[in-house]
Amino acid sequence: MSPQSIPLNTANPAPLGLLGFGMTTCLLNLHNAGFIELSIVIVAMGLALGGATQIIAGIMEFRKNNTFGATAFTAYGFFWWSLILIWTTPFKGIQAADATSMGFYLALWCLFTGFMFIGTFKHNRALQVVFGSLTLLFLLLSEANFTGSAAVHTVAGYVGIFCGLAAIYSAMGQIINHEYGRVVMPL
């Protein structure tokens, strides 16, 4: 059989990508809400689970011909890697990020996420909640950077925790529902 004639019968990569996104988003936003410090724990989670896991899930979605999933997971996986580069500034001679550049960075992610949110209207309610709250999160983080408002940054943290938990719920719902062959966790 040629590679084109081999039927594609692989597992659904979406729960893996959603789990990578959700757990990392929760952890970072525990920092944004003021519960924990920004530390190597968040950086490592962003590199491994937020970045690599989502990129792998995105590539698997490409293979399954799912443009939405491929675009979302791959883009957000690279978001985490770019954020880590911004935090760690590993390049000599390159100025560290300032609040204005971070505001624009987050505003562009808000714009992308807003369009992806529109795409979720063709998907389940759980995914709509994830992308709707993620759009709000990026908007608030962008505003916090542009204005320097610690209060807006803290509110963003709570929105981010909610968003991350919604993604974890969506991931677990897909896994549990698949395993039981029926709706155990409504999506």
Cα 41–108–23 angle (5° rounding)?
Answer: 25
**53-59 long-range Cβ contacts below 8 angstroms, 24+ apart:** 53/16, 53/17, 53/19, 53/20, 53/77, 54/17, 54/20, 54/21, 54/80, 56/13, 56/16, 57/13, 57/14, 57/16, 57/17, 57/20, 58/13, 58/17
- pLDDT value at position 89? 86
Question: If the chain, 187 residues long, is cut into consecutive pieces of 10 residues, what is the mean pLDDT of each piece?
Answer: 58 95 98 97 96 97 95 98 92 90 98 98 96 98 98 98 98 95 91
12: left (phi over 0), alpha (psi -120 to 50) or beta: beta
pLDDT of residue 10: 82
pLDDT of res. 2: 47
